[in-house]
């Protein structure tokens, strides 16, 4: 027996290899087919697609702005509190330095 395959065996190996390759790329063919359909639709209905994207972007931006506004509203009281504390610290520091300069206590 020869180690070499016969022509019939080679054709069978090639067929199996092609079949396995087709099985591997089948999911990608489906994805690319869907992608082709979507891009074809957008080319045909460009104005409608642009309106959809603008509407979606506007909605996303509005949601993000609302979220940021909530964060800002939550931070405002803390900012006011910290500003008041800072002013009190500076006033106390100022008066303690003046008292030290005049060697008296307030």
Cα gap 59→47, rounded to integer Å: 18
Does this model's pTM top 0.85? My answer is: no
% pLDDT > 70, the chain: 73
Both tokens assigned to 96: 């303690």
Identify the H or E element spanning 89: helix 46-101
Reported confidence tier of residue 9, pLDDT bands at 50, 70, 90: low
Residue 1 has pLDDT above 70, yes or no: no
Q: Could you report the per-residue pLDDT of 11-29, keeping only the tens digit for each?
A: 656 666 666 777 777 777 7
Count of CB atoms within 10 A of residue 10's CB?
11
């Amino acid at each position: 027996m020869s180690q070499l395959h016969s022509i019939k065996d080679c054709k069978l190996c090639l067929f199996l290899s092609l079949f396995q390759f087709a099985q591997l790329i089948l999911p990608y063919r489906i994805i690319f087919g869907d992608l082709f359909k979507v891009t074809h639709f957008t080319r045909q209905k460009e104005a409608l697609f642009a309106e959809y994207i603008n509407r979606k972007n506007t909605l996303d931006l509005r949601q993000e702005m609302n979220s940021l506004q909530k964060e800002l509203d939550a931070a405002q009281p803390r900012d006011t509190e910290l500003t008041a504390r800072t002013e009190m610290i500076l006033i106390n520091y100022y008066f303690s330095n003046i008292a030290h300069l005049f060697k008296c206590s307030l």
